Amino acid sequence: MAFDIRTRVVEVLVDDFGVPRDEISFTAPYDQLSFDSLMLLELALILKAESGVALSEKEIGDAATLDGFVDVFLQRSAA
13-46 per-position pLDDT tens digit: 999 999 999 999 999 999 898 888 899 999 999 9
Structural domains in the chain, CATH included, are 5-78 (1.10.1200.10)
Q: What percent of the chain stands above pLDDT 90?
A: 85
Tell me how far apart the alpha carbons of residues 79 and 75 are, in angstroms, rounded to a whole number: 6
Tell me how far apart the alpha carbons of residues 32 and 55 are, in angstroms, rounded to a whole number: 22
CB 3 within 8 A of CB 47: no
Is 50's pLDDT higher than 80?
yes
Q: Enter the pTM of the model.
A: 0.89
Q: Is the dihedral of CA 25, 72, 40, 3 positive or negative?
A: positive
Arithmetic mean of pLDDT over the chain: 92
Is 1's pLDDT higher than 70?
no
Instruction: Categorize the per-residue pLDDT at 2 as very low, low, confident or very high, splitting at 50, 70 and 90.
Output: low
